[in-house]
Structure 1
Amino acid sequence: MVLNVLEGMRWGEAQLLAEKIDNARFDADMLLAEILKVSRDKLYFERERTLSKEEERVFKNWIARRSEHEPLQYILKCQEFMGLTFYVDEGVLIPRADSETLVETWLRIVRDEEQQGQEEKIKVADLCTGSGALAISMAYYCPKAEVVGTDISSRALEVARQNAVSIGVEVNWREGDFVAPIRGERWDWIISNPPYVKKADYLQCAPEIFREPAIAFLGGQDGLEFYRRLAGEARTLLKLDGKILLEIGWDQGNDVCNIFQEQGFTTHVYPDLAGRDRVILAR
């Protein structure tokens, strides 16, 4: 059966609803819009257009994949973050809007320091960089930042390099486990969205989460493993006035603050747009 655009939108939504996919209409529309190379809001203007056999084939294939809980972003191969478009695939964590709080907080602090006369270049290390969303966004919006992005996954770094080229920024990519690639240097900033999900919580996640790399989520039994590792080495990695900015889970503010305070750091927690703890500053 050959569908027109409106029939395709309705059919796709029905298929996804039958599999209990959240945001079924939105996802069906986005998939069809990508195939037709139009924005979602233009679909209704094209509603009577008949899909070609190839367009219909691809659409049905993509709906089948989404019905099996493959994330929409992996099918479309892209995700928006900080106003920039990033390529994503199964080798990297999908950037979330929550993580924009980290970049926005960092930019605000850096700009406040500029107003106080601190204009020199700053050395920034982004640990567990994944798709490179944090590192690339910082380099894009703050040209004076000399950014290094690290990850244990060579596949993730391939994606990050591709994104840096397509967005047009320079980032130094290094492969290795957590802080290993930045040892022996002193940094103005260490930034990270580390794995921070408790193992028990991870097992309760939506099916889509299990399509993403588990290593990007699991932070040990209590979700705090990577914060402890970083806090234990941070003094040897930072300049005297160096700072650390980290994403945290909404219920981890007190625990992460305590971890860094025990190492002699002062801390401050910043909320996301929903008012939940999201970012911790340690200095």
Structure 2
Amino acid sequence: MNVLEGMRWGEAQLLDKNIDNARFDADMLLAEVLKVSRDKLYFERDRQLSNEEENAFKHWIVRRSEHEPLQYILKSQEFMGLPFYVDERVLIPRSDSETLVETWLELVRQEEKQGRARIKVADLCTGSGVLAISMAYYYPKAEIVGSDLSSDALEVARVNAGNLGVSVNWREGDFAVSIRGECWDWIISNPPYVSMADYVQCAPEIFREPSMAFLGGQDGLKFYRRLAEEAKTLLKPEGKILLEIGWDQGEAVCGIFQKKGFATQVFPDLAGRDRVILAR
């Protein structure tokens, strides 16, 4: 087959298996096989695929047809304009989470104008490390720790930090356990916040990702309660917490922290949905 035939064949195969964004995914897989950008495919539409290229492409289409996420096949996902390695050991970064990093950067730069420059940050449930690494990349003056219960996830995070040339202190531990006994300017987290009821309704691709990265207890609020319970022992007097939340969890999460004496503020994502909560 030539490139154009490959694009059409791949799309048809994925559509037959009810894969969302079938054309985009087929194009991206073919582009990766050919080592070109997606927009170059049409310029090379008459090029014949070698036997090796055709076999590799067809193998990847089969994998995607079985609802394996595109990012796991390509081993990559962009986040905050940076390339990250991902595989089955970690949650695939979502663009929604960029709201957390962007909000943090804005708040920290405001504080910098008031004379606070060197800050100590803990990123809990760091996974592939995208939050911690993005913060370190765009604000290198911060001292950043990334913590996760999964040693496999931390291996991926270390690879990403090395690839992007940033320094993050990685720690293994259950949620806040690895940062106890220290005082932090910021605690950042995109914790598991999907309820059991919502999880069972998810797209098939979700079940290929680590379930521990999604499930936040029966109602999705387990980790917010855990952090609120001990947050005051972890923060400096002016310390703050910045957390990603589900679009419908703003009121509930604010209530959890307000009961522990925190003032809260909710920030929306680009779609206008509640996405990040600040507790101080």
TM over 0.5: yes
Hey, what does 2:13 align to over in structure 1? 15
From 263, 266, 275, the equivalent of 2:272 is: 275
Hey, what does 2:242 align to over in structure 1? 245
2:262 aligned partner, one-letter code: F
Distance 1:264 1:195 in 2: 23
Hey, what does 2:143 align to over in structure 1? 146
Distance 1:82 1:132 in 2: 12
TM-score normalised by length of structure 2:
1.00
Distance 2:25 2:262 in 1: 44
Q: Deviation above 6 Å: which 4+ runs of structure 1?
A: none
Hey, what does 1:33 align to over in structure 2? 31
User: Map of 1:121-270 to 2, 5 A cutoff?
Assistant: 121-270=118-267
Q: Secondary structure at the match of 1:10?
A: helix
Within the alignment, does 1:85 sit opposite 2:89 as a pair? no
TM-score normalised by length of structure 1:
0.98
- Aligned-residue CA RMSD in angstroms? 0.4
Unaligned runs of 5+ in 2: none
1:148 aligned partner, one-letter code: V
Distance 2:172 2:162 in 1: 18
Hey, what does 2:51 align to over in structure 1? 53
Distance 1:209 1:48 in 2: 36
Hey, what does 2:71 align to over in structure 1? 73
Distance 1:104 1:215 in 2: 25
Which digits, 9 at most, give the CA deviation of each residue in 1:214-261, with x for residues without a partner?
000000010000000000000000000000000000000000000000
Distance 1:41 1:254 in 2: 43
Distance 1:199 1:127 in 2: 21
2:222 aligned partner, one-letter code: E
Which digits, 9 at most, give the CA deviation of each residue in 1:80-105, with x for residues without a partner?
00000000000000000000000000
Distance 2:137 2:223 in 1: 27
Distance 1:158 1:25 in 2: 33
Distance 1:45 1:252 in 2: 46
Q: Secondary structure at the match of 2:157?
A: helix
1:125 aligned partner, one-letter code: A
Unaligned runs of 5+ in 1: none
Offset at residue 209 of structure 1 (A): 0.2
Which digits, 9 at most, give the CA deviation of each residue in 1:177-213, with x for residues without a partner?
0000000000000000000000010000000000000
Distance 1:143 1:158 in 2: 22
Offset at residue 116 of structure 1 (A): 2.0
Offset at residue 23 of structure 1 (A): 0.3
Offset at residue 117 of structure 1 (A): 2.2
Identity of aligned residues (%): 80
Equivalent residue pairs, number? 280
Offset at residue 42 of structure 1 (A): 0.4
2:125 aligned partner, one-letter code: C
Distance 1:36 1:74 in 2: 18
